[in-house]
Structure 1
Amino acid sequence: MDPRENEEAVPSDVEDEPSRVAGSEVEDGEGEDLMDNLEADYRPMEHLDRYEGDGIDDAYVDDVTEEERFAARLAAERELAERDVVEGRLTGRRRGLPAALEEELDDDERRPRRRRRLEEAQAGMDDDEELGEVEINLDEARGPIREWIAQEPVRREVSRRFARLLRTFIDDSGDAVYRQRVRDMCRENRATLEVNYLDIANTMPVVAIWLADHPREMLPILGEAAKEVALEEFAEFSNVQESVFVRIANIPLQESIRDLRHFHLNQLVRVDGVVTRRTGVYPQLQRTFYDCLKCGAVLGPYFQTGDREIKLGSCPSCEAKGPFQVNVKETVYRNYQKITLQESPGSVPAGRLPRSKEVILLHDLVDSVRPGEEIIVTGIYQHSFEAAQNARHGFPVYSVNIEANHVQKKGDQYSAAKLTDDDKAEIRALSRDPRIGERIVKSIAPSIYGHQNIKQGIALALFGGQEKHPSATHRLRGDINMLLLGDPGTAKSQFLKYIEKVAHRAVYTTGKGASAVGLTAAVHKDAITGEWTLEGGALVLADRGLCLIDEFDKMNDQDRVSIHEAMEQQSISISKAGIVTQLQARCSVIAAANPIGGRYDSSKTFSENVELTDPILSRFDILCVIKDTVDPVNDEKLAEFVVGSHARSHPDDIAAERAAEEQRGEEGGGADASTSGSDPSMLSQQMLRKYITYAKQTCRPKLQMADYDKVAQVYAELRRESSVTHGMPIAVRHLESMIRMSEARAAMHLREYVNDDDIDCAIRIMLESFVATQKLSVQKALRKKFRKFLSAKADFNGLVLLKLQECLRDARRVEAITGQQEDRDNYAVPVRQLEERCRDMDIYDLKPFFDSEAFRDAGFRLGEGGQQVLLARA
């Protein structure tokens, strides 16, 4: 029976008696004497010393044995233990262990829990699971988050959860991703562990939020946890690396450089841009110790935060104001480098100047990027104190920069290392298709109609030839240079813009907006160190890529001369401000220019149509002359293509938009994917990028000895004709150009050796470039002379279709002069006339052409009796 129920029955006079005694003593001011009348506490009190009879069973007899009592207690203890496990209760005893079994343990286990825990802590034992360490609920943060994270229990809980993520995380395919990354890191003696932010957000949402808002406090905690996991794999890892740096990748929210504001300070941000400048690597003080020169005491450590310089007040030993000297032996340094990140040219709003931010690279991130590379930086947006700016402006001004945590190159997604096994298998399967060369050319700029010769030249330039080093002092370039010269409105600039999007690395510039130093390199004085530094121009930034120059004819002659060395020797020599050096410019130059007067005049020589000099023209391997000729058939198809492209892209056309989205999803969302049509032979733009990357990284075609004779024969005949005519000047460079183009075509098929088809294709492209630069009267004679090279291994249907279109133009011209129409519904071309023109190309049987899809797709059909080719009038 509860004794509190009897207390209610105590008489009031008994209850008030002690209070009266106590009150009298308090009133005297001397307080209560506890030792006075001590025996009264043990006096008998009848009304409190008896129990009530209700509820007591006097008939109960305890006749159970000792074994039964022990079994009953054991069952009760087991039931209570199971209840604790189900309800998640944490007690001092181990989970699920009955009390009866604990009684059978030794004396060490039956010691008081507190004393046992103290002894184990002193012995350094980790008994968290047995003692049932209470987990901290991170969701219930008390006070500011920064102060909450600074508490040791919270740090331990965050570290424990992150370590559990590294040990147990499994991706969709069932692989332990991070455990394998930790093993690879330890095996390669690296100190960087890349962690996906989305994995942290899915498993630990609170930690992910804290990491984004307070990265400076969270990253050291994650690094310590990662080092613990690394030490579990390799116990001696601490002898190799002092610490592990956790690199956070794939933050969902990406900011623009011009959108960074004050509320981003001290937060984790993700920006992208182009590296325009890079300093040297400096040792930065990380943990500093000082020696007092008066008393010899060692002061420190002082940790460099980057906000301001460390200034010492006085020595704690001798209280002297100095002088102090850095203790070189105890001081710890770290690698420090600063780069300038500028907005990508395509992301700058119209009429705005590109913004830039300084990014600080520390530890193993130094020298990880080069000027010209387009990168994505994840780091801490921070401010730094600069006394020079404060003195100049007169009020507190802080410069801002980004302390990089993770750096990713944009081209890495298409690098050979990033290609999956499925991608490589698909690429090798495509290379076995004998028509893969035609499919690649057809996939180049699918939103532009026609211009097959330009697309073929661009495909060769994207794959490129092989760089050779005959000796230690001699180097032969492997990049292919290309010039597009033609009338306005022929999609020259559109081709350059397409190459900028599809190439692995490309820099786009215009001739009027580019100066000599903007193309090559400039020398500037560093505002911080005062040293003269080099800033690379467009050609330096495009190293191992492509440099696209639009409006090439609008450049000044002095600026155009500056790229002569870069186009052939692929280097830029600098001798300014005491700096004498050479910069690498190993890139292909693809330029677009307009002729004099805006239009190309076929009755004039090539030198009269263009203001470019012979030295610059001889450095181009492929020269495409684009003429805007009037052709009703071709113009009608071009109009239908353009109108259809606009109709498919109209926002109100819901069905077309849905079909475009499905196609974009199948093709990976590449550039021009929505306008690539439904031709199954075309490659998606994403697969085209992967194919080019794989070919450039793995394929090294070689030229066989038997192929040199044909190339030498063509070169000798071209030299003989160039001395008579006034077209493109032929030099030894064009002999090397044919070899480079043949190697590029072999790389398109992933072949190790160049075959006859590759040689014929290179010769045909070189001859087309040479013939197109001649007068109209000279072109026919040259085509007839080089007929065996121009028609060798060429597309049979394409050649006959070209002759058929020439016959159709002649028929229309005769009809316009005479005014007579034999058939009001159709244009008619005699088959005999077409056969006579095809005999010049050694083509005698036209039946395969009349049965081909090219004949039907062009709109032609055979008349009755097979004596005429008919084309319906528009």
Structure 2
Amino acid sequence: MTRKVEFLYNLHLFLEQQLSGEENEILGDDRSDLISEESGEDLFADNFERDYEAIDELDRYEAGGIDDDEENDRELTVEQRQRAEREIKRRERERRRRLGQELNEESDLEEEDSSLIGLARKGKRSKIHDDEIGMDDESDAYIKNLGDTQGHKIADWVQMPGPHNEVIRHFKKFLRTFKITTTTVGGTNKPIYREALRRLVQEQKQSIIIDFEHLMSVDEILAFFLLGAPEQTLKIFHEALTELCFELYPNHRSIEKELFVRVSNCLQNDNIRDLRVEHLNKLIGISGVVTTSTGVLPQLSIIKFNCQKCGFILGPFTQNQENEIKPGSCPECQSNGPFELNMEETIYRNYQRVSIQESPGTVPPGRIPRSKEILLLGDLCDMCRPGDELEVLGVYRNTYNISLNIQNNLPVFATIVEANYISTREDKISFETLTDEDIQEIQRLSKDPKIAQRIYASIAPSIYGHEMVKKSIAFAMFGGESKNPGGKHQVRGDINILLCGDPSTAKSQFLKYIEKTAHRAVFTTGRGASAVGLTAYVQRNAVTREWTLEAGALVLADRGVCLIDEFDKMSDQDRTSIHEAMEQQSISISKAGIVTTLQARCSVIAAANPVGGRYDPALTFMNNVDLSEPILTRFDILCTVRDIADPVQDELMARFVTESHMRHHPLADENDAEQNHVVPNIFNVEPMPQEIFKKYIIYAKRRIHPRMTSIDQEKVAQLYAKLRRESLVTGSVPVTVRQVESIVRIAEAHARMHLRDFVNDDDINVAIQVVLQSFIDAQKYGIMRTMKKVFQRYLTYKKDNNEFLLFLLKQLFQENLAFQRNRYGADRVASAGAAIKISEEDLKSRARQYSVLDLKQFYESPLFRSHGFKYEDKFITQVL
């Protein structure tokens, strides 16, 4: 062996001994002799190129190291490859475990050991510990108690190498091992998140949803870190999920580069107006209605740059939300640019901003609704649209806004919520609030033969009378069934109502009751709403200069009820804007280059006052309300509310109001309430509790979808023909084919009240009765009396004879009262103790005309006594 080769060999041994920790005594004082060029063989002598000639005897492999077995050359299947990879990983873990035990068994090194052996051995131990175990000696003590941050902030602690790796290990274990008992027969423990990961790969999704309560029950430390430092912890969760998915499904790496963890069921919702400084960089939950939404834009995630001078690729750089990443200098040519964005290797992600506003029912009186911007990234984009009610879970962050600082002359920061998980509130309210006991109670109530009367009585129970109005509101709250044949033309199922009548008849109180009871209701007034405020409007963002679409009241009330008070105070132009929304239930926008259609699937319930202040029965309905024919035909039910002076009804109403005040006093107890309860409601049934009533509506609208199969179509056709003929003669409310659709919708709503899946003749008859009553009440007084006789068999359908006899008895008393006032004077008749008597024969003769013969049951009914009537010696007396 020559001196040069010997030098190279000794150098190799020296480096190997430095790593192995053995004594390095190869090099001595003659080191200069080893590297001396004076001695040795000249490798570049003459004919040195012959050293590289081919020699067949020597240029071949040894036969002992070659595997020529053809069976080993076959391609492995996916299962065999995965099995082999798992075996290699198992051996690697076993090797690391044995290595850690050997290191723990070594004795401590002597202090200040100057020998090369001690330094090399110590270096080797430190290197192996860091590389193999993944953390340094100092952090090893902390990992034994991951929750002990040793005085560090949680955000800083989880980013240290040791805790970072430990959090990844804990979260991977949670995803792999968490199981939940299924509800099937012989319930088994099922790894739900392993199954969720499999569905993620199968459906090529980008995220999975974990329940915070599941994480809290298994690993409280991770839940504590998530609440204390959500931004940093969620990044680690994303990293752990991505690693675990690519370990189990390596081919998914070519589809998605990064996966996300969405956390649900974490926090109670906070109000938008309650967000303060202490919420910054914390995990919050808020809810509201989406008002604006931008388009989905690509945002830089991981950036690479090209140096235009030398062509070197700089990066990757991770782009954050605050500042734009710019490279300093090129490490290849040391120049300061210029740099160009590498479009091919740069990674983008979806980016969208939406604004949510406080739900209409949660805004305190006299306050302006607050709004907050929500940042949607990744697969959260395009999951909502204007009008949707959202529940958002995300990190409350601050962002630097130049316009705010210019405007306030102070370092003021804007705030934004970076969403981690969003869900529509409508989905949650459907059945999560209903327990099994509630469903059993609802089904029990539906079997009551008087369930319809109980529902009517439950509508605004603090308002006396107004039978027609309460029925109409009940139909509107339950609603019909919408149809969309072939997905081309939608027929609405929502019922629109117009209340018109004298002042002080509780029209606004009915609207306020609906606002508090309906699932989703938006309340507005005629003077407080413009055309764009009702539909939608387009505005330009002050910062981005981008045109955005903001939703109006009808869009915000999608799948709910839109309440419009003072409907007559709106201008004609504003009323015209809601024509499309009331019939097609959509709003078309074509402004500033934005051409789109928004959904407005809601019932419209409006209240209006007559033109002269009071309703004049001598005029038609159109002349009283001064509304155009197109807007009137879009209302299914027209309720005429009149304030008629009736001594008996006025007394009952006054007693009902005073009793209501006494029962609802803050200091009143149950005994006082029972003693003061004297006046029954007009339906003579017990109303349902309001909480059960709300759940009954939710259950009926979600579960019951009535269908029309076998109904008497001839009856509806004949009725429509008669109504058309009468409308042309009277010239009052126009009758169109929309009245036929109204009958169908009301029949479906009546079937839904009874939780029936099919519409029967009873539902059709009730619907015909309501539509006829609405049409007749809109006529002049003289025509009204005539039409009641023409359509009497429809109007008296399934009416209690007691109610009908009460109506006849009231007519007799009104005629007798008018006669007495004309003969004796109004003062004498109204004096204390004055009474009016009606002969029983007069009532019998009038009831005989309508085939009612038995009056004894009527005299004994509570309806007869509650209206102040007494029967003695074949005379009926009513005390004024």
| Alignment TM-score, normalising by the size of structure 2 | 0.75
- Which residue of structure 2 aligns with residue 640 of structure 1? 655
Q: Determine helix, strand or coil for the equivalent of 1:150.
A: coil
**Among residues 475, 478, 482, which one is paired with 1:460 in the alignment?**
475
- Which residue of structure 1 aligns with residue 772 of structure 2? 767
CA distance in 1 between counterparts of 2:430 and 2:389 reads 14
CA distance in 2 between counterparts of 1:813 and 1:310 reads 90
Report whether the alignment pairs 1:623 with 2:638.
yes
Q: Is 212-221 or 107-116 further displaced after alignment?
A: 107-116
- Which residue of structure 1 aligns with residue 50 of structure 2? none
Partner letter of residue 533 of structure 2? Answer: G
Q: Determine helix, strand or coil for the equivalent of 1:339.
A: strand
**Among residues 542, 550, 553, which one is paired with 2:565 in the alignment?**
550
**Among residues 279, 285, 289, which one is paired with 1:274 in the alignment?**
289
Report how many residues are paired.
746
- Which residue of structure 2 aligns with residue 146 of structure 1? 155
- Which residue of structure 1 aligns with residue 712 of structure 2? 707
Report whether the alignment pairs 1:321 with 2:336.
yes
Q: How does 1:325-344 map to 2 (within 5 A)?
A: 325-344=340-359
Gaps (5+ residues) in structure 1? Answer: 1-106, 660-674
**Among residues 100, 110, 135, which one is paired with 2:144 in the alignment?**
135
Q: Determine helix, strand or coil for the equivalent of 1:415.
A: helix
Report whether the alignment pairs 1:534 with 2:549.
yes
Q: Determine helix, strand or coil for the equivalent of 2:663.
A: helix
Is contact 1:182–1:230 with CA below 8 Å preserved after alignment?
Answer: no
Partner letter of residue 831 of structure 1? Answer: E
Q: How does 1:210-609 map to 2 (within 5 A)?
A: 210-223=225-238, 245-250=260-265, 254-387=269-402, 396-415=411-430, 426-469=441-484, 474-609=489-624
Taking only aligned residues, the RMSD between alpha carbons, in angstroms, comes to 4.2
Deviations 1:343-364 (A, max 9, x none): 2334444444333221111222
Is contact 1:414–1:690 with CA below 8 Å preserved after alignment?
Answer: no
Partner letter of residue 295 of structure 2? Answer: G
Partner letter of residue 144 of structure 1? Answer: K
Q: Determine helix, strand or coil for the equivalent of 1:575.
A: strand
Is contact 1:136–1:154 with CA below 8 Å preserved after alignment?
Answer: no
CA distance in 1 between counterparts of 2:808 and 2:794 reads 17
Q: Determine helix, strand or coil for the equivalent of 1:455.
A: helix
Deviations 1:180-213 (A, max 9, x none): 3663464364554545556666776665554334
Is contact 2:262–2:421 with CA below 8 Å preserved after alignment?
Answer: yes
CA pair 821-651 structure 1, distance change in 2 beyond 3 A = closer
CA distance in 1 between counterparts of 2:278 and 2:143 reads 36
Post-superposition offset of 1:294: 2.6
Deviations 1:268-308 (A, max 9, x none): 22333221111111122222222223323222221122011
Deviations 1:668-722 (A, max 9, x none): xxxxxxx999998544444434443443344443334652211111111112222
Post-superposition offset of 1:835: 2.8
- Which residue of structure 2 aligns with residue 845 of structure 1? 854
CA distance in 2 between counterparts of 1:474 and 1:134 reads 64
CA pair 276-288 structure 1, distance change in 2 beyond 3 A = same
Q: Determine helix, strand or coil for the equivalent of 2:493.
A: coil
CA pair 256-844 structure 1, distance change in 2 beyond 3 A = same
Is contact 1:308–1:384 with CA below 8 Å preserved after alignment?
Answer: no
Deviations 1:549-574 (A, max 9, x none): 11100001111122222222333333
Is contact 1:702–1:752 with CA below 8 Å preserved after alignment?
Answer: yes
Q: Is 313-322 or 704-713 further displaced after alignment?
A: 704-713
Deviations 1:26-69 (A, max 9, x none): xxxxxxxxxxxxxxxxxxxxxxxxxxxxxxxxxxxxxxxxxxxx
Report whether the alignment pairs 1:868 with 2:875.
yes
Is contact 1:605–1:727 with CA below 8 Å preserved after alignment?
Answer: yes
Is contact 2:293–2:354 with CA below 8 Å preserved after alignment?
Answer: yes
CA distance in 2 between counterparts of 1:737 and 1:834 reads 37
CA pair 366-430 structure 1, distance change in 2 beyond 3 A = farther
Q: How does 1:626-705 map to 2 (within 5 A)?
A: 626-653=641-668, 682-704=687-709
CA distance in 2 between counterparts of 1:356 and 1:610 reads 37
Is contact 2:286–2:391 with CA below 8 Å preserved after alignment?
Answer: yes
Q: Is 232-241 or 295-304 further displaced after alignment?
A: 232-241
Q: How does 1:823-842 map to 2 (within 5 A)?
A: 824=833, 828-842=837-851
Post-superposition offset of 1:770: 1.2
CA distance in 2 between counterparts of 1:832 and 1:717 reads 36
- Which residue of structure 2 aligns with residue 19 of structure 1? none
Report whether the alignment pairs 1:801 with 2:806.
yes
Post-superposition offset of 1:628: 1.4
Report whether the alignment pairs 1:183 with 2:208.
no
CA distance in 2 between counterparts of 1:153 and 1:678 reads 73
Is contact 1:505–1:542 with CA below 8 Å preserved after alignment?
Answer: yes
Q: Determine helix, strand or coil for the equivalent of 2:390.
A: strand
CA distance in 2 between counterparts of 1:810 and 1:722 reads 30
CA distance in 1 between counterparts of 2:785 and 2:223 reads 72
Deviations 1:45-96 (A, max 9, x none): xxxxxxxxxxxxxxxxxxxxxxxxxxxxxxxxxxxxxxxxxxxxxxxxxxxx
- Which residue of structure 2 aligns with residue 790 of structure 1? 795
Q: Determine helix, strand or coil for the equivalent of 1:277.
A: strand
Partner letter of residue 218 of structure 1? Answer: T
CA pair 683-362 structure 1, distance change in 2 beyond 3 A = farther
Post-superposition offset of 1:806: 3.6
Post-superposition offset of 1:657: 11
Q: How does 1:166-181 map to 2 (within 5 A)?
A: 167=177, 179-180=191-192
CA distance in 1 between counterparts of 2:413 and 2:751 reads 56
CA distance in 2 between counterparts of 1:869 and 1:474 reads 59
**Among residues 114, 131, 143, which one is paired with 2:104 in the alignment?**
114
Post-superposition offset of 1:498: 2.1
Deviations 1:758-784 (A, max 9, x none): 111111111111111122222211111
| Alignment TM-score, normalising by the size of structure 1 | 0.75
CA pair 597-822 structure 1, distance change in 2 beyond 3 A = closer
